[in-house]
Structure 1
């Protein structure tokens, strides 16, 4: 019986597993990039909440100070009028009496609009009650003076009623101010925490995404190899063509997803100017990861990358006659797992050089070289980045996120990261395990 119109069961099984692997890789990649987008969105929301809280705190603090100023001016006018009987002192009293209700109205509007702490509602009622008591006491005393009851006004002024009302009002104002400052401090801390964690988590997520892609490509190549052993030469060529097409399709989809994330990050800051520096930094690092990914998509079927190609791809946007670089070292092949964190390190060093390093000055120069140290299983790859300039910028003494990111990348590769500053520039050395 002829079976020319039917595929062998084993062949069908290989094709099914290959399709499943491709689908799994695409799903993992999509999930990774969605998680990255959620992290970016969370950071932008934290920044927005901080700005809103800062605006709210500023308005509430202004209202609280106006209430205190109104009571102080009114009391000063009352005392001056009592001592001198000069009607001009009543101008200060009238100013305070006019300012007080407007300030209370602004404070009540902000508290009622967005109640964050229930204690603030209680303090608002306390401030209103104590303020009304104080102005009632001041108004009564001034009325007594105007009616000629100087002795009665004197007794009322010398009593503790006015002093106690003022002290209670100020106690409530101080407590309200403390609560609002605490809310602002929490918002600032939350925004700083979100910004601190976003880039490491984003880098880890994208690294896992690239790992899933590498796994899918490996499974595809393995399935193709198994099929090649069971098929004739013609079927083998067709299988390889399909495998190549699948690999290119996966790579194309990953690049598209990277592009979507970059576009969303940039669009997120379009209507938020204050968030633009954060999103630009995130977009630059995502682009560095994309460069590292593209460097692993060369002719090597295993997804390996050349050290020199990786460096040239990362530095390409910054190179010019004004920004010279010298690159030297033996041929080194890196896996996608090694290329991604190393690409992030090179990106950080390049952007730092443009901002305040050798490339920020006329005549600055950068030299990059690498060599092998040791032999056998203990062999290491030493990568040196050397910057020289006429007036190098001294270190600030504060360890920023870029430094932590580079140290984290070195730890991912089980290596070390060392940076030293000299009179004519800066030197960075990374040592990575690279067995022979």
Structure 2
């Protein structure tokens, strides 16, 4: 049986781990909710684009119907040829169909008070215009040419047409405003993704750091309080805790990946967003797994991290060169650096050296300075036969790299020339050294 002080010590050692795991789980759930909100906003925006397009077409059909009907009326008056009435009848038939379509689309989206007023005005003014045209055509049919001429030359038809067009223009402007609001909401949802992913990253790093601290503390305490056999048992328990923490963190990554993919399983329009988010979560997982290597203190080898990033693309025949001393990275360094390298590799496949035949990537790293001023300098060099010119757009990938640079307390510089792109990554590196 365990003594009461041993039981209490075990509980104290488990408490920080459980606390950080809880915080990490909260962060991951928050990320899921935000991802879901972003997908929903983008779906709403696409639906609004389609709805606005249908409404705009129907509004313009109403205007076209009035113009055709008026043209047919004028042609019939001038020539007395009833063949011109075909255009007139086409306009009269097009108007009610277009009006019904506008009503249906607006009501399906939830009608605003001003939209309801405008629909009533459009219908009233269109009816007035078509009634004026019908009366003139009836006069011509009865042979009342002079009366028909006076009616045509009066301002009644012109005023009715101007009023109808004013109402149609206002309705179009209102729909454009609704579409702009939906677009702005979708953009704001996308802007919220990066901060929450950064918070999740920090929580994950915190859980790894506290887990490592708790494990070392438990091992040290039991080494002072027990004999050799008890010390071995204590180390076994510490290893078990570390493996349990690692297993739970990996399970959390797997759960969030599964939920993200399931959320978009029946929504093919959300696949690009889901694939992008899944790729970045995979990069976090790869960086986490790289910290579970040989280092007993949770450090990761630089070469292992680079190999994990390049592994998915090496089978595709992409050329690359890697060189540099054997360097250990702390978990705090490995995760953001893994995200940056993943982003660069993905961009190389899409736009850079690996998007063209004959492109090559060279990665090398070295130390600069000494003592407290020592820094790790990493260079990513892409050479391509036909490099693409950079754009001024700052996307999610650029913001992610800037955020990672801040977490590393360093800087990331990108330069483009006629042969390709060079990325220099530099950050302080004094806690871990080269491996003998």
Under TM normalisation by the shorter chain, which class is it?
over 0.9
- Report the CA distance between 1:186 and its aligned residue: 1.9
Aligned residue for 1:257, secondary structure, equals helix
Tell me the distance in 2 between the aligned counterparts of 1:416 and 1:22: 32
- Report the CA distance between 1:400 and its aligned residue: 3.1
Aligned Cα root-mean-square deviation (Å): 1.8
Tell me the distance in 2 between the aligned counterparts of 1:58 and 1:200: 34
* Equivalent in 378, 383, 406 of residue 383 of structure 1: 378
Q: Give TM-score, length-normalised by structure 2.
A: 0.94
Tell me the distance in 2 between the aligned counterparts of 1:128 and 1:244: 77
Higher mean alpha-carbon deviation, 39-48 vs 144-153, is at 144-153
Partner of 1:76: 71
2:351 matches 1:361: no
- Report the CA distance between 1:248 and its aligned residue: 0.8
* Equivalent in 266, 273, 276 of residue 271 of structure 2: 276
In the alignment of these two chains, the number of paired residues is: 431
Higher mean alpha-carbon deviation, 413-422 vs 393-402, is at 393-402
Partner of 1:314: 309
Aligned residue for 1:300, secondary structure, equals coil
Q: CA offsets, 1:167-213, max 9 Å, x none?
A: 11100100100111111122222223323432453243133223223
Q: CA offsets, 1:311-337, max 9 Å, x none?
A: 111111111472232222222221111
Q: Is this contact kept in 2: 1:353–1:359, CA < 8 A?
A: yes
Superposition pairs for residues 22-171 of structure 1, below 5 Å?
22-115=17-110, 117-171=112-166
Q: Is this contact kept in 2: 1:338–1:413, CA < 8 A?
A: yes
- Report the CA distance between 1:146 and its aligned residue: 1.2
- Report the CA distance between 1:37 and its aligned residue: 0.8
* Equivalent in 332, 343, 351 of residue 338 of structure 2: 343
Tell me the distance in 2 between the aligned counterparts of 1:258 and 1:176: 48
Q: Give TM-score, length-normalised by structure 1.
A: 0.94
Q: Is this contact kept in 2: 1:115–1:121, CA < 8 A?
A: no
Tell me the distance in 1 between the aligned counterparts of 2:77 and 2:168: 27
Partner of 2:219: 224
Tell me the distance in 2 between the aligned counterparts of 1:345 and 1:153: 77
Instruction: Point out where structure 1 has 5 or more consecutive residues left out of the alignment.
Output: none
- Report the CA distance between 1:70 and its aligned residue: 0.7
Tell me the distance in 2 between the aligned counterparts of 1:144 and 1:161: 16
Higher mean alpha-carbon deviation, 249-258 vs 400-409, is at 400-409
Partner of 2:207: 212
Tell me the distance in 2 between the aligned counterparts of 1:320 and 1:280: 20
Instruction: Point out where structure 2 has 5 or more consecutive residues left out of the alignment.
Output: 432-436
2:257 matches 1:262: yes
Q: Which runs of 4 or more aligned residues in structure 1 lie more than 6 Å from their structure 2 counterparts after TM superposition?
A: none
* Equivalent in 312, 323, 331 of residue 328 of structure 1: 323
- Report the CA distance between 1:387 and its aligned residue: 1.5
Tell me the distance in 2 between the aligned counterparts of 1:161 and 1:52: 40
Q: Is this contact kept in 1: 2:306–2:341, CA < 8 A?
A: yes
Partner of 1:7: 3
Tell me the distance in 2 between the aligned counterparts of 1:358 and 1:163: 63
Aligned residue for 1:382, secondary structure, equals strand
